[in-house]
Amino acid sequence: MRTVIFDLDGTLADTSGDLIAAANHCFRGLGLGDLLDPAHDAATALRGGRAMLTLGFSRVGGFDAAHVDAQYPVLLAAYADAIDTHTVLYPGAMDAVARLRADGYAVGIATNKPEGLAETLMRSLGVRDEFASLIGADTLPVRKPDPEHHFEAVRRAGGDVRRSLLVGDTATDRDTSRNAGVPSVLVTFGPGREAVLALDAEATIDSYDELPGVVARLIG
């Protein structure tokens, strides 16, 4: 079966506000105040917890990778406690998923968010059952950009890897698709449009209205 695998953060949903709130919780606990800005630092937020902690600590002196490691579990706990306060699905995302499913495609998720958090978020948003698979950062011994992460998401969705593609928003997603030997479609409506366009994916979309047609062109 033809299969479309989606990234989650920055692709299906804008999770940046809740992620930044969790990181700032860590910084406040250390007496540093809010080191990240929800608007200006959204692109870093969508790269994950460690990226946010690293950026925040870079803005003050005396912190290193050991502090990132120590605060990462604190960040995950804070995020789990308020996972959907600010998060929203991107406009048209679920309409596109419904259209793909109606056209005979299997759909799944491959995210570098921990699986339990991804499951909780998708259920909170009321859309988990629309996806036949969900692979998180800790589901397998490997994660994106390792191609096995994509392969397993396809397999669990009941699909054919040879007729699959990955929809994402970062270099990690582009690299995953290349390592897997499948096309990538990158969304440009999140933060950092010019950086996404420079990644030279097989296709980009400015709106989810474009996705079904692009998918049909790339994998039939």
**Which residues are known catalytic residues?**
7
* 3-state SS string for 129-191: HHCCCEECCCCCCCCCCCHHHHHHHHHHCCCCHHHEEEEECCHHHHHHHHHHCCCEEEECCCC
42 neighbors 169 (Cβ within 8 angstroms)? no
* 121-140 per-residue burial string, b: 16 or more CB within 10 A, e: under 16: bbeebebeeebbbbbbbebe
The separation between CA 14 and the C-alpha centre of its own chain, rounded to angstroms, equals 9
- DSSP helix/strand/coil, 9: strand
Instruction: Report the 10 Å Cβ neighbour count for 25.
Output: 18
19 neighbors 178 (Cβ within 8 angstroms)? no
Instruction: Report the 10 Å Cβ neighbour count for 158.
Output: 12
Distance CA 82, CA 85 (A): 6
Sort strands 88-89 and 13-14 into parallel, antiparallel or unpaired: antiparallel
Find the farthest-apart pair of alpha carbons in the chain and give their distance in angstroms, rounded: 55
